[in-house]
Amino acid sequence: MHRCFTSLRTAFFFANVFAFFATVVIADEGVTRIEDVVYGRKYGTALTMDVFQPKSVEGKSGAGAAVVFCVSGGWFSSHEAINQGFLEEYLKRGYTVFAVVHGSQPKFTIPEVVEDMHRAIRFIRSRAKQYQIDPNRIGICGGSAGGHLSLMQGTAGTLGDPKAKDPIDRESSRVQAVACFFPPTDFLNYGKTGEIALGRGVLKNFRAPFDFHELNTTNNSFVPITEESRLLEIGRKISPVTHASNDDPPTLIIHGDADTLVPIQQAEIMIEKLKEANVPCELVVRKGQGHGWLELGKDLTLFADWFDRYLAKP
């Protein structure tokens, strides 16, 4: 089993956080796995997800509901990072699980990744009948960058465009419950008020996902965005705390209070914003723990309990 990385300078630190669950074993005969389902395309590249369907769901709490797992660490995502053991608790309770791989850094930036996640939720909702799920009972989970993306779906998911040419884009990208580990939530107040972490400061070794750019239509080339005011505007847009409102879904965060990579302050201010908006939410603090812990896999039962509480059929 891979153990927690101690070096915060490792560029793919987050990508390995899922290794905590390598010892979890799942009975494959009870689950159907459909690999590399294409949910969208961009720049000639296919965006894919794996779909896990338990063969027996009758009488189970998650029957007919879905859990989306954000395969993301440091906004790095790959099919190889899908760990079926991470999903075992949801599957045994009858949830259909969608493990979403997004456009990965260093090629794609956070705003582009967020758009991929919107697309994934819309796709899943558009295929509700095919996968035998209720489109109004979708939860989302992830850790670290995956937690950030989960919160972005929870706080900034949008209704579909009824006039869109693509029928998938007519679907909503909103979710009905969120559960996540140690998520970044405010890149402009990171650890303390006024601390900017847009590939700077604590996150200086994660420059690529913050390398924002735009298309120059004159010569059809991408150019970097360097104006500070624009960078801060993007930083606000990709910070979940900016979007907290009273129509957000119930949200659970589990965070270690000794985390130096994503300070627990990030979870605290998110929960504060959600409480101000009267959104059901909870912060579970793991005393003395950093960015991951050896017993972290056991906390997945808390995620599953949270989804049972808010996604189970009445």
pLDDT tens, residue by residue, 213-238: 988 888 888 888 999 999 999 999 99
The H or E element spanning position 150 is helix 145-156
Nearest to 151 by CA among 172, 194, 181: 181
In a domain, 250, yes or no: yes
Q: What is the pLDDT of residues 38-54, one digit of tens each?
A: 999 998 999 999 999 99
CATH of the domain at 302: 3.40.50.1820
Q: What is the pLDDT of residues 79-128, one digit of tens each?
A: 999 988 889 999 999 999 999 999 999 999 999 999 999 999 999 999 99
pLDDT value, residue 28: 60
Sheet of strand 45-54, all strands in order from the earlier edge strand to the far edge:
31-42, 45-54, 96-101, 66-71, 138-143, 177-181, 251-256, 281-286
C-alpha torsion 136→119→142→54, nearest 10? 60
Residue with tokens 């970097």, as numbered in its chain: 224
In a domain, 133, yes or no: yes
How many CA atoms, within 13 angstroms, populate the side-chain half-sphere of residue 113? 34
In a domain, 165, yes or no: yes
- Bridge-based pairing of strands 281-286 and 251-256 is parallel
Which domain covers residue 159, as residue numbers? Answer: 14-187+241-311
Q: Give the count of domains, the chain.
A: 1
In a domain, 211, yes or no: no
Residue-wise burial string across 251-290, b where 16 or more C-beta atoms lie within 10 A, e elsewhere: bbbbbbeebebbbbbbbbbbbebbeeeebebebeebeebb
Contact predicate 215/202, CB 8 Å: no
Nearest to 158 by CA among 104, 117, 98, 213: 117
> Quick one: what percent of the chain has pLDDT higher than 90?
79
Mean of pLDDT values over 2-23: 36
The most distant pair of C-alpha atoms in the chain lies apart, rounded to whole Å, by 59
Mean of pLDDT values over 11-37: 57
Mean of pLDDT values over 170-198: 97
In a domain, 34, yes or no: yes
In a domain, 92, yes or no: yes
In a domain, 213, yes or no: no
Burial class (CB in 10 A: 0-12, 13-18, 19+), 55: exposed
In a domain, 172, yes or no: yes
CA-CA distance, 9 to 283, in Å (whole number)? 27
CA-CA distance, 133 to 117, in Å (whole number)? 18
